[in-house]
Every structure is written in C-alpha cells, then in structure tokens.
Amino acid sequence: MKGKDIRELDNKDLGLKLDDLRKELFNLRFSHTTGQLSNPMQLVNVRKDIARVLTIMQERKLHGDDFRKVAGKGRGKKK
C-alpha cells in the first residue's frame, strides 16, 4: 500500500487498517513457521505497511488538523 493511499484514509479507517495489517502479519508469521508461506517477502511488505500507517498516525498526532491542509504540498523553507 502506498503512502498516498494511506494518507487518504481518515483516523478511524487508519486504526482499522492497522488492526487488519497486524492480524495479517500474525497469520503470515504462523504460515512461515509451519512452512506454508510461499513468498517470504510478504512478511517484509506487511511490516513496511504497518510502519507507514504508524508514521502517518504519528504525523497527524503531532500536527493536528493542520497536517491535512499541508499534506501533498512540497516541503519548502519556512519564512
């Protein structure tokens, strides 16, 4: 999942997405342990998606509502 797609989700949906990703990671770990996982890169991708969601949640927490207004604009020097 791309960061752009994650940023379009509201806070409630982000929390639900995080829960889903954590459940998926648990299932993937279980499959990997039992030798049933065909593509181990799925573990890496899900962990990265979890990190993306957590990063965006933290950014929103730190920046409040102003973050949504600034999201999508390039970073420039503050005057």
On the question of pLDDT at 27 being above 90, the answer is yes
38 domain-assigned: yes
Q: Is residue 75 situated within a structural domain?
A: no
Structure token digits, residue 4: 């752009």
Residue 79 belongs to a domain = no
How far is it, in rounded angstroms, from Cα 18 to Cα 69? 23
Domain count, the chain: 1
pTM comes to 0.75
* Domain-embedded: residue 35: yes
- 29 domain-assigned: yes
Q: Is residue 14 part of a domain?
A: yes
CB-neighbour burial class of residue 23 (10 A; exposed 0-12, middle 13-18, buried 19+): exposed
Residues 43-69 pLDDT 10s: 999 999 999 999 999 998 888 754 445
Q: Cα–Cα distance between 69 and 7 in angstroms, integer?
A: 12
CATH of the domain at 7: 1.10.287.310
